[in-house]
Amino acid sequence: MSAAAACVEVTPVTPIAVRELCEFTAKRGDLDLRFTPSPTSQQGIEGHAIVTGRRSGDYLREVPLQRQYQTLLTRGRADGLRPPTGSAPIATLEEIKTYRGRIERIPDNHRTLHWAQLKIYGAQLCAERGLDQIDLSLIYFDVDKKSETPLTQRYSVAELDPYFEQHCETYRVWDAAQLVHQQQRNQALERAAFPFADFNAGQRQLAEAIYRAIQRRTPLLAQAPTGIGKSIGTLFPSLKAMAKGRLDKIFYLTAKTSGRQAALSALASLRGADGSALPLRVLELTARDKACVHRDKLCHGQSCPLAKGFYDRLATARDEALALYCIDQAALRNVALRHSVCPYYLAQDLVRWVDVVVGDYNYYFDSSALLHSLTTLNQWRVAVLVDEAHNLVERGRAMYSAELTETAIPTVKGSVHRASSRALNALADDWRRISAPQTEDYVQLDAAPQVLIDRLTQTVAALGDFYTEHPDAGPPHLQRFYFDALHFLERAESFGTHSVCDLQVVRHPGIGNTDSTLTIRNVVPAPFLAPRLYAATSAVLFSATITPPHFYRSLIGLADDTPWLDVPSPFDAQQLSVQIAGRISTRYRDRAASVAPIVALIAAQYTHQPGNYLAFFSSYDYLQQIAEALAERHPSLPVHAQKSGMSELEQSGFLSRFTANGRQIGLAVLGGAFAEGVDLPGDRLIGAFVATLGLPQYNAVNEVMRQRLTDIFGAEDGYDFAYLYPGLQKVVQAAGRVIRTRQDRGTIHLIDDRYLRPRVRQVLPRWWNASAP
């Protein structure tokens, strides 16, 4: 090879699916989310098979097509092709779209998108086969009636080529700008220094382990103590891996709003080598109800002004948003309102073009999660950073559980047509036949009764027909019932040993009625979470309390050999006095007797060292007993109690009492809003009392879950997985509010004789030097 040839720069070619191309370049008009039931994916597959099965002769199915335009390589697969014959000398290319209901209800902008896709396929085929003209046939197939409606038009190459080039040029210009952004981003990240003078103790160890995990494409469990800077400690190595071309995107997932804010603050601390902002695109995802501007309107152009013409204004809104460094909730709303587009759906579009996404767990781990579906569809290389990962077990269980209540059925009957009403009546009758004979309040079932599943399937089909004919009809609670029923059927279809099914009956003796709830309760979310974890280049699950590792590996779905990092605490045992009140039992049967000694302990500690304290209890009832006793015996103590159902504003007010050099005793529920994710450094909190082991309540539901865990993991792990580890995780989280920095000093009182047991103490942080007076 000559030196000149060796120096020739090869221009990268960007492959793009025709559907993705058209989604970007051909969408026009309104955002329309009126509920119109569409065929399931299985119905779509079957519909395509029926249509193509009706074709004969030389008909070709699933025709692969591609065509290059400058640096863009378009690829696709047309549904069918009728090659030219003597009687029909013009080839016909077919694209099949399935639907339900009336064909005229297919929105115009959907039809425009369908035609765009077919015309691009036509341009590809003409170029490949040297055709001068072609018949393009858009076939709408009614999955219920099994009927076809073909819409056929003849196009010449002179018409199709400019159309193809116009759409490709629009995307090519955009794609070139994205490549420039990625190059500038990677160069800046390569040069970027750690944003603080030095790493905290343990922070470098955490960062290096994460970088290696991404490099090796493996997951990682990391236990890192509070106060070392986990947010920047996880984000910085991930960004450095992105600079090396190992990642396309980073998803920072949190269980609470406070976690999102910590991640955004960490990202805001990053600067280029010259102190300028990095060319990095950061997006915060928020829930639909929080992002919505017009909550009194429906999500379509005839109701909401931000849905009207949404796709016509999306491009300019997108451009402005992507020029920002951090597209948080406030910035997103401002951009959206300037361009009169919906902020929630603007964010959904921006996910494709940003570098870092900060959002709730459900955006990746839920069964219909946006981030996971886009990752698999686009084959993105992503780092999934799971903050406060001890929450993922319970959140995963909630995502993959479902319940229906008997009383929901009559509340929706009056809102539907006759066929739906008949289906609901039949469902109610069968439900009563199952629930009425039950003599126990709680009944474990082998699975959801098949007769109810069959009736529910019929009901969903009838309601689907109703919505197909009346997309704007029906109150909100009817649509909620419909989606709850769909979710229940989905969980019933995937039911296995990872879940249990139960029927809970509530009796109303005065009126002779009963109400029952049928629940599919996920116990082990591993089968659902594991595919999502392993779809990532690396999933890093980190928390201050992720012990013991085999508990999390087993329930989340990580392999037994998944690396586990235990970062030593930067705190000294002398910073924290941990006292075990081993002569007090907080068991339910001993609660009444425990009140007096707990009150005496709180009063004595406060008298000895006045300041700000939090005291945690297992329930509001227990908390209230303590509050009343403190008020009666020590009325001068500044006590403030958490109330059930506090709003975010009320929670902020509660925490605002904990000021530097203040004096306050806050009573709170373990596992509640004030037990984790609360940062009260220095004198804002100098001590905590934990009057419980945090064990889940002993009841029929938890016992069934324990038994299922025992069946899967053995007797000892069954109890520990169901009770001990979840409880102590809450204890350590709550107690972790006390020491936040190396300058902090404080006291923790663990109140229960069971804290003296070696089996319990071995789960507590190693640096705690607990003693029993």
The answer to whether residue 634 sits within a structural domain is yes
Kindly give the interhelix angle for 310-322 and 329-338, rounded to the nearest 10 degrees.
130
Q: What is the mean pLDDT of the chain?
A: 92
CB atoms within 10 A of CB 337: 14
Write out the two tokens for 607: 């008298």
- CATH number of residue 98's parent domain: 3.90.320.10
Mean pLDDT within 416-427:
88
H or E segment at 581?
strand 576-581
Q: What percent of the chain has pLDDT over 70?
A: 97
Chain segment 306-355, per-residue pLDDT in tens: 999 999 999 999 999 999 999 999 999 999 999 999 999 999 999 999 99
Q: Is the dihedral of CA 48, 53, 59, 63 positive or negative?
A: positive
State percent of the chain over pLDDT 90: 77
Predicted pLDDT of residue 511: 57
Residues 280 and 389 in one domain: yes
Check whether 677 has a pLDDT greater than 80: no
Give tens-digit pLDDT for 457-484. Answer: 999 988 888 887 777 767 788 889 999 9
Q: Which of 139-143, 226-230, 279-283 has the lowest mean pLDDT?
A: 226-230
Give CA 502 to chain center in angstroms: 26
Check whether residue 559 and residue 582 sit in a common domain. no
Asked whether residue 635 falls in the same domain as residue 746, the answer is yes
The number of folded domains in the chain is: 4
238 and 539 in contact (C-beta within 8 Å)?
no
- Mean pLDDT calculated for residue range 619-647: 96
Least confident of 7-11, 547-551, 632-636: 7-11
DSSP H/E element including 467: helix 450-469
| pLDDT value, residue 272 | 67
pLDDT at 411 over 60: yes
Please tell me the distance from the alpha carbon of residue 488 to that of residue 495, in angstroms, as a whole number: 10
In this prediction, residues 240-262 reach a mean pLDDT of: 95
Instruction: Give the model confidence (pLDDT) of 27-42 as tens digits.
Output: 999 998 877 777 888 8
DSSP class of residue 721 equals I
Structure-derived torsion over alpha carbons of residues 173, 174, 177, 178, reported in degrees to the nearest 10 = -140
Q: Which residue has the higher pLDDT, 226 or 166?
A: 166
Is residue 190 a part of any domain in this protein? no
Asked whether residue 548 falls in the same domain as residue 465, the answer is: no
- For residue 144, pLDDT over 90 is answered with no
- Among residues 493, 523, 553, the one where a domain terminates is 523
Going by pLDDT thresholds of 50, 70 and 90, the confidence category of residue 163 is very high
**Where residue 498 sits, what CATH number does that domain have?**
1.10.275
Residue 188 lies in a domain: no
| CATH number, domain with residue 336 | 3.40.50.300
Domain-embedded: residue 423: yes
pLDDT reported for residue 413 = 82
pLDDT at 510: 62
Same domain, residue pair 373 and 427: no
Q: Which residue has the higher pLDDT, 763 or 509?
A: 763
pLDDT at 273 (0 to 100): 63
Residues 727 and 715: their CA atoms lie apart, in Å, by 18
Whole-number pLDDT of residue 1: 46
pLDDT digits (tens, 9 = 90+) for 577-597: 999 999 999 999 999 999 999
Residue 501 has pLDDT above 70, yes or no: yes
Asked if residue 164 has pLDDT above 90, the reply is yes
Is residue 547 domain-shared with residue 600, that is, in the same domain? no
Three-state SS annotation for 109-174: HHHHHHHHHHHHHHHHHHHHHCCCEEEEEEEEEECCCCEEEEEEEEEEHHHHHHHHHHHHHHHHHH
Query: Could you tell me which residues are beta bridge partners of residue 771?
Result: 579
* Helix boundaries (H) for 249-390: 257-268, 288-291, 310-322, 329-338, 343-350, 362-365, 370-378
Report yes or no on whether pTM surpasses 0.75. Answer: yes
Residues 427 and 533 in one domain: no
Name the domain boundary from 506, 523, 540.
Answer: 523
Residue 82 scores a pLDDT above 80: yes
Looking at the structure, tell me whether residues 553 and 581 fall in a common domain: no
516 and 585 part of one domain: no
Measured distance CA(137)–CA(154) in Å, rounded: 9
Domain annotation covers residue 772? no
Residues 328 and 295 in one domain: yes
pLDDT, one tens digit per residue, over 531-551 is 999 999 999 999 988 999 999
Task: Over range 763-773, report the average pLDDT.
Answer: 83
Residue pLDDT, tens place only, 271-307: 766 667 889 999 999 999 899 999 888 888 889 999 9
Maximum CA extent, the chain = 103
Q: 122, 156, 171: which is the final residue of a domain?
A: 171
Please tell me which residue, 139 or 438, carries the higher pLDDT value.
139
According to the model, what pLDDT value does residue 197 have?
A: 85
Question: Does a structural domain hold residue 4?
Answer: no
**Residue 5 pLDDT > 50:** no
Position 312 in a domain: yes
> Looking at the structure, do residues 438 and 460 belong to the same domain, yes or no?
yes
Looking at the predicted structure, is the pLDDT value of residue 201 above 50?
yes
Whether residue 166 sits in one domain with residue 132? yes
Provide the pLDDT for residue 497: 97
Residue 771 counted as domain residue: no
Average pLDDT over residues 96-101: 91
695 touches 755 (CB < 8 A): no
Q: Which domain holds residue 339?
A: 202-398+527-566
What's the pLDDT at 256? 87
Would you say residue 671 has pLDDT above 50? Answer: yes
